[in-house]
Amino acid sequence: MKFFDVLVVGELNVDIILDKIQGFPVVGKEIVSKEMTMTLGSSSAIFASNLSSLGNKVGFLGKIGKDDFARTVINTLKEKKVDTENIIQSEEYQTGLTIVMNYDMDRANVTFPGAMEHLRLHEITDSQLQKAKHLHLSSVFLQTGLLSEISELFKRAKNLGLTTSMDPQWDPTEEWNLDLEELLPYMDVFMPNTEEFKHLTKCADIQSGLEKVKSYANYIIIKDGENGAHLWDGKKLTTQPAFLNSNVIDCIGAGDSFDAGFISEYLKGGSMLHCLEFGNITGAINTTASGGTGAFKSLENVKKVAFDLFKYQL
C-alpha cells in the first residue's frame, strides 16, 4: 500500500519577495522596494505544493527549525494538502530564508540555508521511501549534508521499486561537483535547466553534454525558458516549444512548476512528449501570479488559466 504518489526530499525555507525596487543595492546606500510578499519558498516546496494542486498525493521530507518561519512552512504545505509528517524539526538550527529581489524578468537571491544544510541520508529511512511510488529531489547543492550521499539515496529508492527524478538547481559555490556517472543510472528523469546542464557536464553546449553522459543516463529533460524544453530519450533530442505569457507577473518557481506538471503526467503513464508539453503549460501558468505557488490555488484554477490565457485544455 503506497501512501504517496511522490515523496519529495528537499530544502525548505520562507521567501521574502521584493518588487518594484528602485535600483540595485549598493554597499553603504539604501534603496526602497514598493512591494513585499512573504511566502513559502524553496524549489522543493513549490514543486510539492503545485504537484499536490494537480491532484497528486505528496509527502515531504526535509529539515527545518522550531521557529515562526517553520510554522509558516508547515501550515502552508498543509493548506496545499502536502503531508508534513516526515519533516524533521530541529532545536539546533533555524529555518532557512531567501530574500528575492525581482527585476522585470530576472532576479537576485540571497539565501540563509539554516537547517536545510543538515539533513543526512541516515534520516531518510527505507520505510519512508516505501510509502511512495516516486522519489523527487530538488536543490541538492543547498543540501550540503546530503550532497555526497545522493547516489546512495537514489540507489536505495530504485532497489525499493520507486521511480526517481531530480532537479539539481543552481550551485551557489559554482563548483558543480556532482558525479553524474555514478548518479544518473539510478535516475529515471534528470531535470536541469540549460545552464545547469552545461555546468554539470562541463560542456559549452547541450549536444556536447549529451554526448558525454548518454552512455549512462536515462531520460534527460532540459528546461530552456522561452525556448521551451528539450527531451533526450537516449537516442535523439526533441524540443517542445514554450507557451509564452505576454503579461508575466514573475518567474519565481516556473522551473519547479514545469517539474510538477511533467512528473504529474509521467506518473499517469503519459508519453514523454506529452509530459514535456504539460510541463511547459504548468511552467507558463506559474508566471501568471506572484510567487511560485500563487497560480496553483486549485486544479480548477489551473485549468481555467490554461484555457483562458493559453487555449490549452487540461
CATH assignment at residue 245: 3.40.1190.20
Is residue 18 situated within a structural domain? no
Residue 250's contacts (CB-CB under 8 Å, 6 or more residues apart) are 17, 19, 102, 107, 287, 290, 291
pLDDT digits (tens, 9 = 90+) for 122-157: 999 999 999 999 999 999 999 999 999 999 999 999
Is residue 225 situated within a structural domain? yes
Is residue 21 situated within a structural domain? no
Is residue 104 situated within a structural domain? no
Q: What is the mean pLDDT of the chain?
A: 94
Give the domain extent around 132.
Answer: 4-11+42-94+114-310
Give the least confident one: 46-50, 110-114, 132-136, 155-159.
110-114
Number of compact structural domains in the chain = 1
Question: What average pLDDT does range 77-89 have in this prediction?
Answer: 97
CA dihedral angle for residue 257, residue 184, residue 227, residue 170, rounded to 10 degrees: 70
Question: What average pLDDT does range 46-58 have in this prediction?
Answer: 97
Length of the chain: 314
Is residue 120 situated within a structural domain? yes
pLDDT of residue 86: 97
User: Cell match 514554450: residue?
Assistant: 242
Question: What average pLDDT does range 112-121 have in this prediction?
Answer: 96
pLDDT digits (tens, 9 = 90+) for 164-220: 999 999 999 999 999 999 999 999 999 999 999 999 999 999 999 999 999 999 999
pLDDT of residue 291: 78
Is residue 22 situated within a structural domain? no
Is residue 258 situated within a structural domain? yes
**Res. 296 pLDDT band, cuts 50 70 90:** very high
Is residue 32 situated within a structural domain? no
pLDDT of residue 105: 67
Q: Say if residue 243's pLDDT is above 70.
A: yes
Among 120, 174, 166, smallest CA distance to 143 is for 120
